[in-house]
Amino acid sequence: MVKTARRVPLVVPIAALALVCPVIAGCGGGSAGESEEGEASTAEVAEPKEDISAYADRIATALTSPDCEGLEEINDPEKSGFLLPCPADKAQTRRAFEGFKVLGSASYGSGAVIDYTDGEAPDGATYIATLNEDRDWYIDAGLVTKQLTVGTKIENQAGFDKVLDDFLGAVRDGDCEEFFRTSVTSSQDPETVCKKELPLYDGLEAALKESEGAEPVLLGGNRSFVFYGLTTDRPEKAYRTATVQKTGEGSTEPYLVRQTTVGPLPE
């Protein structure tokens, strides 16, 4: 879906249309992570079953092999809110994914990015991935960024921090106006967002209200995407990964929260 300039002037690839499920909103003794800059995070995170580079290789195999080898495992609809099409099925999809190539990948605790190019995004695009409760990586979004994100550093961390704090406050208080201002939404109509999108965060709302003092912890990131971990104790102990993105020129909001996803509790 293409966002208007007022919201997010980043383009979601047509070939990578997502099926958004409530799992994306998170409804309902590991080692510290390390940022791309090499700075150790203070967050305790679960160990992924698979390195993000291996996951990226599986995506490349699925999107370039004649029979889309392994795509079914990547597209588990029970665990991922973003399903990739098989390029072999339709000519339009084949053209979009033509020459698909992974340019790099990086993990930041329970969040990760995979930079790539293809026929639809010759100048660069990025898959955002987070760990699900089973400690497997799953794609949450695909965005045409027209630049590399891997290897870059966080710029103006305070801006990322503030929008996440504002977003969490909006979810906790049920403030739809503030939720609309601080988050990526599939609708540009505030009333629709209030009725259909804010309720996806009911589980997070309850957790924030009942877990007084719970604060997000920086996991790491790059100039475009920053990841945070949030552990809440009530109504039951839960861990979420929050993804915050920097928007492009023309947006009235320089940073937006992309989503929160329920992940594995720290070991």
pLDDT at 208 over 80: yes
Has residue 6 been placed in a domain? no
Nearest by Cα to 10 from 246, 210, 266: 246
Instruction: Quick: pLDDT tens for 156-200.
Output: 999 999 999 999 999 999 999 999 999 999 999 999 999 999 999
In a domain, 210, yes or no: yes
* Residue 121 within a domain: yes
pLDDT attached to residue 19: 34
Domain count, the chain: 2
Together in a domain, 103 and 185: no
Structure tokens of 178?
Answer: 């503030």
User: Which residue type, as a one-letter code, is found at position 224?
Assistant: S
Distance between CA 116 and CA 121 in Å, rounded? 8
Q: What is the pLDDT of residue 53?
A: 98
> Among 144, 165, 181, where does a domain finish?
144
| Owning domain of residue 37 | 14-144
**Are residue 102 and residue 200 in the same domain, yes or no?**
no
Q: Are residues 134 and 18 in the same domain?
A: yes
Cis amide linkage into residue 235, ω under 30° from 0: yes
Q: What's the chain's length in residues?
A: 267
Which tokens is 131 given? 């760990």
Last residue of a domain, one of 76, 110, 144: 144
Whether residue 19 is found in the same domain as residue 139: yes
Q: With 50 as the cut, is the pLDDT of residue 29 above it?
A: no
4: confidence class by pLDDT, cuts 50, 70, 90? very low
Q: What value does the mean pLDDT of the chain take?
A: 85
> 164 in a domain, yes or no?
yes
Percent share of the chain, pLDDT over 90: 77
Smallest CA-to-CA distance from 112 within 190, 45, 62, 171 is with: 45
